[in-house]
């Protein structure tokens, strides 16, 4: 069991107890801790307790996770003294031994020596009692008074700080998700505050600099002289004893309980413990209602501002992978394969693929005999068919090659096959029966039993590509990566129907294509870049000579004048060679899918000097990120180029940048459409035209209000255009 303390910018602080070793934090229901703010991603962070130590990891959130002002880039160990910044929230964790301290029995404070810790300083925040050690206060953050002298609370009574935050955001985070419901504990507002010298990851008002943290109360010990005072409850008067603690509340998933007021008289002599008995009605403090909630942090950007990734959720799939694996059937497979190899040597397995019918019939009989020997309690015909296919073909890989719902197949080992089905990566139902049968399938693909081949790629006639990595490079036996050519080629209108982009975005992109504007489509890996590129390129009018360049064919343009080129790394004909070849084919537009190397420079020079309306895809999470990556790729094989001149050339080659991100429903969204206007000093001058914003549970596309210049040119040329798409 461990405890997480949450302090919200606005005043409210809460604690949650967990009886599990790992929790997730995010904006949407399904997380163990729900922080309902727009600047928190759907799945933002993960905290795990491993061997008594805490580890935090950022789940590729949009705005990042920070520990003590430093951004988390991987799994990072944390301690109880570390402050975790997620959006408008500050979190701290407490170890099990600190979170489960028993309540103190005597009502009076114990005797202390200089070597003994003050029990009242074990709480979190001012007057907290959640257990765990309190991090050291920033220098000058508290004014310690002498023993017996009252210290004014920075939170007590009315004052400028209270007035400032009275209208602030006090919406408390909720808790939901699977597993045992955590126990929530409320404490005084403020909590432990970061040092004012620490960098704040959010460009918001720093409530710590306003003294939002509370002052110490008199320390009732027998030690002489001045000593550090325990933290007082809010609203306690000078010289009063520590107030009666509030009871621990068990919150149901997703519920939020208003923080009780901590003012008023309280019984004297009691240490602050969160597990103390519930106070009587005479001493119970009235509940303080939550302040009116305000909208979350600004996610969209103002008109004219650009260059950073649009805020929102990280759009990542769930960490735990769904499994369809049939362990009982696989156990029967393995038993039959062991019996089979008692009479068949692995070298006797044929290498021909597709298999010879006579070989299939021969091995089908031998497999049937092995099945009769084992007598497994699974479907006999299915078992014989699968193992026979392993002996002469590709085994379970063939099964998923014929499944139209499966896009990719990944064989990690003989007993683990992953498939991407309808956009979701899952553990497949079937796997190989034996390591030797997986090895035979790999040899069959390579056409040889020569184990000196480290890795190679095979292409089927329908465009399917199989990448094979052999031992010893692959530790767990041959590793196969199968990428099937896409069968779904949606149009831009179909993507509008799926919620990928708005009708206004679709109309705008159509005008841009018809006007000969060049477009860069970017996004993370497997975010729908190629699908989006194909939909946009489908708007190119007939009679336009188009040359497509791809590493593996995905685009299927409905143009009779289109020429498709595909790279062949085995012969040395890579994308760079193909782009140069395409330039010599007198194209009007060159479309390059998945630019990852020096071919970027050849495309840029071509698009900037003649093939207007060309298109390209690359990786990037924002417009500035994508353009920066394109610049870096151009410099790979051309280090002598002037960076300033290269940026100007890229600005002439690219008119608009379209950013896509994968969404939680296994689809994708257009997150940003940005116009490239030129170069300012060492950066690109950009203007957003459309963006995608998440506000609470609502997700919408919005125009910024900026109208690109070419729309004015179209109107002056007599083309009827709709300017209403730029109005929200």
pTM: 0.56
- Compute CA distances 418 → 390, 424, 426, 429, 454, whole Å: 17, 10, 6, 9, 22
Return phi, psi of residue 105, to 5°. Answer: -80, -50
In the prediction, which pLDDT does 554 show?
85
Distance from C-alpha of 210 to C-alpha of 222, rounded to nearest angstrom: 34
Q: What is the pLDDT of residue 177?
A: 44
pLDDT at residue number 11: 61
Closest CA to 599 of 623, 620, 622, 583: 583
Helices (H), 613-674: 623-636, 643-653
Any idea what DSSP says for residue 174?
B
Distance CA 73, CA 60 (A): 9
User: 62 near 56, Cβ under 8 Å?
Assistant: no
Positions of the chain with pLDDT lower than 70, given as ranges: 9-12, 96-319
The DSSP code for 29 is B
Length of the chain: 728
Q: Which residues have a Cβ under 8 Å from the Cβ of 100 and sit 6 or more positions away?
A: 1, 131
192 Cβ contact list (under 8 Å, min separation 6): 5, 7, 83, 90, 92, 124, 125, 134, 135, 213
Packing angle, helices 380-392 and 435-446, rounded to 10: 40
Separation CA 497–CA 356 (nearest Å): 47
Q: Which domains does the chain have, with CATH numbers?
A: 2-94 (2.60.200.20), 327-483 (3.30.450.90), 492-726 (3.40.50.300)
pLDDT of residue 96: 64
The answer to whether the CB of 105 falls within 8 A of the CB of 211 is no
């Amino acid at each position: 069991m461990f405890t997480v303390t949450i302090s919200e910018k606005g005043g409210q602080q809460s604690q949650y107890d967990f009886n599990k070793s790992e929790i997730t934090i995010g904006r949407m229901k399904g997380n163990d801790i729900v922080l309902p703010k727009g600047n928190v991603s759907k799945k933002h962070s993960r905290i795990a307790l491993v061997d008594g130590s805490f580890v935090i990891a950022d789940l590729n959130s949009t705005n990042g996770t920070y520990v003590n002002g430093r951004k988390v880039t991987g799994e990072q160990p944390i301690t109880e003294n570390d402050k975790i910044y997620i959006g408008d929230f500050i979190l701290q964790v407490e170890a099990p031994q600190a979170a489960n301290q028993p309540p103190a029995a005597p009502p009076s404070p114990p005797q202390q020596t200089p070597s003994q810790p003050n029990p009242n300083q074990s709480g979190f925040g001012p007057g907290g009692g959640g257990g765990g050690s309190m991090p050291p206060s920033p220098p000058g953050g508290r004014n310690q008074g002498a023993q017996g002298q009252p210290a004014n609370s920075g939170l007590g009574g009315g004052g400028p700080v209270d007035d400032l935050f009275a209208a602030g955001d006090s919406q408390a985070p909720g808790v939901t998700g699977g597993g045992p419901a955590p126990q929530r504990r409320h404490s005084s507002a403020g909590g432990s505050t970061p040092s004012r010298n620490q960098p704040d990851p959010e460009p918001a008002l720093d409530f710590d600099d306003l003294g939002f943290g509370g002052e110490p109360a008199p320390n009732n010990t027998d030690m002489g002289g001045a000593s550090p005072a325990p933290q007082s409850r809010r609203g306690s008067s000078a010289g009063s004893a520590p107030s009666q603690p509030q009871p621990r509340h068990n919150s149901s998933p997703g519920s939020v309980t208003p923080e009780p007021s901590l003012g008023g008289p309280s019984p004297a002599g009691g240490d602050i413990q969160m597990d103390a008995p519930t106070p009587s009605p005479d001493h119970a403090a009235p509940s303080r209602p939550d302040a009116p909630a305000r909208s979350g942090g600004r996610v969209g950007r103002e008109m004219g501002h650009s260059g950073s990734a649009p805020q929102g959720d990280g759009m990542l799939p769930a960490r735990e992978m769904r499994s369809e694996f049939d362990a009982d059937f696989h156990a029967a497979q393995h038993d039959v394969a062991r019996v089979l190899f008692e009479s068949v040597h692995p070298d006797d397995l044929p290498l021909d693929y597709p298999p010879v019918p006579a070989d299939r019939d021969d091995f089908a009989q031998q497999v049937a005999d092995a099945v009769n020997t084992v007598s497994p309690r699974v479907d006999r015909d299915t078992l014989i068919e699968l193992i026979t296919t392993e002996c002469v073909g590709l085994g379970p890989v063939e099964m998923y090659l014929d499944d139209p719902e499966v896009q990719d197949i990944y064989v990690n080992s003989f007993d683990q096959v992953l498939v991407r089905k309808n956009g979701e990566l899952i553990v497949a139902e079937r796997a190989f029966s034996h390591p030797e049968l997986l090895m035979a399938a790999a040899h069959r693909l390579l056409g040889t039993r020569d184990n000196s081949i480290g890795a190679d790629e095979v292409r089927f006639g329908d465009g399917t590509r199989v990448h094979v990595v052999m031992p010893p490079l692959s530790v767990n036996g041959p590793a196969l990566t199968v990428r099937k050519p896409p069968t779904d080629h949606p149009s831009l209108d179909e993507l509008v129907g799926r919620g990928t982009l708005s009708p206004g975005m679709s109309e705008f992109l159509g005008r841009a294509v018809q006007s000969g504007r060049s477009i860069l489509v970017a996004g993370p890996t497997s975010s729908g870049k190629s699908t989006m590129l194909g939909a946009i390129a489908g708007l190119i009018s007939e009679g336009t000579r188009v040359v497509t360049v791809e590493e593996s064919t995905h685009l299927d343009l409905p143009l009779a004048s289109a020429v498709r080129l595909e790279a062949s790394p085995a012969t040395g004909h890579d994308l760079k060679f193909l782009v140069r070849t395409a330039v010599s084919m007198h194209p009007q537009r060159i479309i390059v899918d998945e630019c990852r190397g020096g071919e970027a420079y050849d495309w840029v020079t071509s698009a900037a000097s003649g093939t207007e309306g060309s298109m390209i895809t690359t990786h990037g999470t924002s417009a500035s990120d994508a353009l920066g990556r394109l610049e870096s790729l151009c410099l790979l094989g051309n280090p002598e180029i002037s960076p300033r001149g290269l940026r100007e050339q890229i600005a002439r080659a690219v008119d608009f940048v379209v950013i896509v991100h994968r969404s939680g429903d296994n689809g994708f969204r257009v997150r940003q459409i940005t116009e490239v206007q030129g170069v300012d000093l060492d950066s690109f001058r950009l203007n957003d035209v459309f963006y995608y914003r998440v506000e609470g549970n609502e997700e919408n596309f919005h125009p910024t209000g900026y109208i690109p210049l070419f729309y004015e040119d179209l109107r002056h040329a007599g083309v009827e255009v709709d300017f209403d798409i730029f109005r929200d």
